[in-house]
Homo-oligomer: A and B are copies of this chain.
Amino acid sequence: MKNHAIAFAPASISNLGSGFDVIGLALEEPGDYIVAELTERRSVGLRGVEGDGGLLSRDGKKNIAAHVATMMLRDLKARVGIAITLHARTPVKSGLGSSASSAVAAAVAVNALLGNPLAKDELLQYAVDGERFVSGAGHADNVSPSLFGGVTLVRDTKTLDIIRLPIPRKGVWVVVHPHIQVRTADARKILPKNIPLTKAVRQWGNVGGLVAGFCSGDLDLLGRSIEDVIIEPVRAQLIPGFHAVKSAAMKAGALACSISGSGPSMFALVETWTDSRRVGKAMQKAFRGVGLKSDLIISRISEEGAHVVSWVGQ
């Protein structure tokens, strides 16, 4: 049997309403698995992709995981070849950071295969580079929580100044993924280039509240602070039934409800597991009202983030 390593990296909810482009949290499930195997050829190959419903390219030159592996081998001057297999479990184009979980899982798997030459902190730049490779923008708001687990604040994207926030002991996150796709690029295109200063100030009051809420574990404060007066009103247009779903979540007892990442998935914050089922079902029912089937994910925040699942070698 060839040397190989398998790594898992979780899906993530980025933005959390007001924290557009800066805040994200890792879910326990779902997430992507990457199998990295040593090969004879001194290059990176894409052995296979499954679980993506055929949405991702099978071309190794276009695949985010293969790209991350290629960059790592180059920088580490590793004279080996690696075959990558992606088992996609984070739904693609769902707003749950699927490309981030592929990139992070690849970085962790390749690092393990090579004997862990890099620390987790050092893997971050490769995953961000992967995001840039597939989307043109080096966002870190999904990659950071997927890699480190927990809740992260991207204080500065350029210098990758990532602040890891405390994980509240309470609270459950409900995600409903309707069966439509929203391309991140499209969701970015409709954003305003300029915004009123008054709205920006309101938003940074809420961003401050989000961070304070995570630091203190105050779920009510988190709920109030998820309020997004800038991005959500614009992106809501891309999600059929948005207002009905949000209203259903709040009526069923959610502390807050907004769009996960660039959508179409919507998330809600609730206090207990009991609440989570009720809120999730209400959100799904509202999506059905506009003819959309959906998947329901209920998860606490992942403390661990990405990790090696197994390693086989000599």
Chain A residues near B (Cβ < 8 Å): 18-23, 153-157, 161, 163, 165-166, 191-197, 200-212, 215-216, 221, 224-225, 230
Contact = CB atoms under 8 A, between A and B. Distances in A.
27 contacts: A18-B204, A19-B204, A20-B204, A21-B205, A22-B201, A22-B204, A22-B208, A153-B208, A155-B205, A155-B208, A155-B212, A155-B224, A155-B225, A156-B205, A157-B205, A163-B208, A191-B197, A192-B197, A194-B194, A195-B195, A200-B204, A203-B204, A204-B204, A204-B207, A207-B207, A207-B211, A211-B212
Contact of A153 (B166, B201, B212): B212
A-B pairs with lowest CB-CB distance, top 9 = A215-B215, A211-B211, A155-B209, A204-B207, A200-B200, A194-B194, A153-B208, A22-B205, A208-B211
Contacts of A195: 194-195, 197, 200
**Copies of the chain in the assembly:** 2
Contact of A196 (B18, B194, B208): B194
A194 B191 contact: no
A153 B210 CA distance: 11
Contacts of A19: 204, 208
A156 B224 CA distance: 10
B153 A205 contact: yes
Given A196-B194, A209-B155, A163 B221 contact: yes
Contacts of A165: 212
A218 to B, nearest CB: 8
A197 B200 CA distance: 9
B224 A161 contact: yes
A9 to B, nearest CB: 23
A194 to B, nearest CB: 4
Contacts of A230: 197, 200
Nearest to A221: B163
A158 to B, nearest CB: 9
A223 to B, nearest CB: 12
Contacts of A202: 156
Contact of A201 (B21, B163, B210): B21
Nearest to A213: B163
Contacts of A207: 204, 207-208, 211
B197 A197 contact: no
A26 B18 CA distance: 27
A193 B204 contact: no
Nearest to A215: B215
Nearest to A18: B204
A208 B205 contact: no
A23 to B, nearest CB: 7
B191 A193 contact: no
Contacts of A163: 208-209, 212, 221
